[in-house]
Amino acid sequence: MAVTTGGRATGAPTGPVTSGTSNANVSQREDLANFISMITRDETPFMASIGKSKATQIYHEWQTDELAAPGDSRIAEGVDFVAPTAGGSSSAGEYGTGFTDAGPNRTRLGNYTQINGKTIAVSGTKRAVDQAGVADEYAYQLKKRGTEMRRDMEKNMVADYQVASGSGIRSAGGFQSWINGATVENNNATAAATTGAGTHAPSIPLDADRVSLSLADVDAVMQSIYEAGGKATKIMVSPKLRRDFSDLMQSETNVRRNIDMDGKLRQSVDIYMSDFGDLMVVPNYIMGLATDADADLDKADTAALVYDPSWFSVATLRPLSEVDVGQKGDSMVGQMVEEWTLQCNNPSGCGAIYGLK
Structural domains in the chain, sorted by start? 45-63+106-253+265-354 (3.90.1690)
- The CA radius of gyration of the chain, in Å to the nearest whole number, is 31
Residues 6+ apart with CB under 8 A from 269: 245, 246, 249, 250, 255, 281
Is residue 44's pLDDT more than 60?
yes
> In angstroms, rounded to a whole number, what is the distance separating the alpha carbons of residues 291 and 278?
33
Please indicate whether residue 127 or residue 6 has the higher confidence score (pLDDT): 127
Q: Are strands 331-344 and 234-237 parallel, antiparallel or unpaired?
A: unpaired
Phi and psi at residue 237, in whole multiples of 5°? -140, 170
**CA pair distance 47, 231, nearest whole angstrom:** 19
H helix or E strand, kind and range, residue 309: none
Quick: pLDDT tens for 237-280. 988 888 888 877 666 545 555 666 666 656 677 888 888 888 99
| Percent over 90 (pLDDT), the chain | 16
Alpha helix positions (H), 284-339: 295-300
Enclosing H/E stretch for 238: none
- Model's pTM, two decimal places? 0.75
Label residue 55 by pLDDT band (50, 70, 90). very high
The residue count of the chain comes to 357
pLDDT range class, residue 309, cuts 50, 70, 90 = very high
Put the strands of the sheet holding 51-54 in their side by side order.
51-54, 312-328, 331-344, 114-123
